[in-house]
Each structure stands twice: as structure tokens, then as C-alpha cells.
Amino acid sequence: MDQPLVIPAGRDVRLADFEPDFHEELDRAEAEAETRRHCDKLDELAYRLFAEAKRAVVVVLQGIDTSGKDGTIRMLASGISPQCLDVKSFRAPSALELSHDFLWRVHAAIPSHGRIGIFNRSHYEDVVVVRVRKLVPKEVWQSRYDQINAFEKLLHDGGVTFVKCFLHISKKEQRERLEDRLRDPKKQWKLRPDDLEDRNRWDDFQLAYDDALTKCNTEHAPWHIVPADKKWYRNLVVARIVRKTIERLDPTFPPFDSSLITKLD
């Protein structure tokens, strides 16, 4: 059975309609081999985008705690030269960031033309986390959907392509990953009290994401719903999406100045 990654703009999105464990009946070895091929191609595409220096790509990774944002970043970074790549993690805003509008810190992190940026969380925290934790009044976060759409359209018109990926895991899988963090000394540092408290708000987070994925799913910046219970399949899907996106942009090397040949001693 197939499962769509993208829902047409204007349609309601309900995460309950998507299977987090979906994996196309692929096995892990097949998926990992294909992922490596995509990463190899991404290195070439990123270099062409870097040389062209006219457009940028932003990969937005959103998902509930333990959905695999860090692992997805490591996979993408394994196939893209550091000279072409920026990675930004959005944590709780600082006092300086809170003294500006909520999109100020995001705009500052947008990569320059020629580069690929990967966001670990993003401006969507400001319509999800702030809503669930009741950090701002309802009328404030409700107005942000239109502001986000306008912001992304502004950047799109200026040459920035958004690749928005929601990493969709099940509640059962999240529990297993949290338990793994509790047991593993190398992962314990990643656990915060908020993580366990937020698990008790699972239904509220799902509803908040339903609304964000519905209201900010546009033709210029569509959402991709990535089944993420199986880490190896998650990596494959994101690698495919990013590769296909940059292939559609078809970046080209700048024209060669042939006069340079005569200037070489």
C-alpha cells in the first residue's frame, strides 16, 4: 500500500491518517544502500548550487521529541560538503530574541544564496510549543499562521526553496526511544523534564501539528509527512526529497571566462 508524502494545499491534514511505520516493504539493507546513493548525488548537487550562488535551500525538520531530527541531520551532512551547508538548532528563545518578533531569529538563520540550511526545529515551534504549553495567548499564535505563510512566500520569491519535513513517529515508538535515552549514558544528556511532561500532552501536540500542517501547507512551501518509526526509512525518504528538490532547481556552474586561458603563463 502506498502512502502520500505531500497533501495538496488547502486540504485538511490529520496525522492519525498516516502510518508512522510505513516503509514500502523495503528492507533495511536496500534502504540504506539507496540512501547512500542519494547522499553521493547530493554532494554534487550542493556543489553546483554553491558555485551558482543564486538560490538557497532550507530543509526544515519538525517533529515531536525523539522523532529523529538529529539523526536526519547527520545523514544529510554525511553527503554534503561543509562549505555548502549551514545547520541551525532552534531552542527556547533568548532574551534578545524575545525582544524581537518571533520570525527575527529565523530570518537571521536563512542561508545565503548558494548554500543549504538545515533547521532542527524552526518557526513552527511558535505555533505548536507555545500553543500547547500556553506560553502566549490564543489570539497571538493563531495570527502566526498567516505571518509564516507570508514570510515563506517572501523568501521563496527571493530565491529560497523550503523543504519542510514532518518526522512522524508513533506514541509507542517515542516511549521506546525515551526509555533508550534513560538507559544510555551517551544519550541521557538529551533528556529534559519538559520531554516527559510533553509526552503527557501527546494529543495536544498532535492537534497543534494537524493545524500547522494544514494551515501552512502551501504550493510554494509544501509539507512532507515522513514516516519515521524506522530510522533507516526516514533517512531514505528525506534524502530522496532533498535530492529531487535540488534536481528540479537544476543549478548550473557559472559560464567560463575563456580569456583567462590567454592570461596563464
Burial per residue of 161-188, b for 16 or more beta-carbon CB atoms within 10 angstroms, e otherwise: bbbbbbbbbeeebbeebbeebeeeeeee
Return the CATH number of the domain spanning residue range 17-251.
3.40.50.300
Asked if the model's pLDDT at residue 48 lies above 70, the reply is yes
Asked if the model's pLDDT at residue 2 lies above 80, the reply is no
pLDDT score for 22: 96
pLDDT digits (tens, 9 = 90+) for 142-159: 999 999 999 999 999 999
**Average pLDDT in the 93-100 region?**
97
Classify 242 as helix, strand or coil.
Answer: helix
Q: What is the pTM of this model?
A: 0.95
Angle at CA of residue 69, ends 228 and 36, nearest 5°: 70
| N residues, the chain | 265
Cβ atoms 76, 167 nearer than 8 A: no
Average pLDDT, the chain: 95
pLDDT score for 265: 64
Asked if the model's pLDDT at residue 1 lies above 70, the reply is no
Asked if the model's pLDDT at residue 45 lies above 90, the reply is yes
Backbone angles phi, psi at 111, to 5 degrees: -65, 150
Please tell me the number of Cα atoms within 13 Å of 59 on its side-chain side: 28
**Average pLDDT in the 14-43 region?**
95
Residue position matching grid coordinates 556552474: 253
**Average pLDDT in the 47-58 region?**
98
Greater pLDDT, 208 or 265: 208
pLDDT digits (tens, 9 = 90+) for 171-228: 999 999 999 998 988 888 888 888 888 999 999 999 999 999 999 999 999 999 999 9
Alpha-carbon span 245 to 252, nearest angstrom: 15
Classify 59 as helix, strand or coil.
Answer: strand
Instruction: Report which secondary-structure segment, H or E, holds 225.
Output: strand 223-227
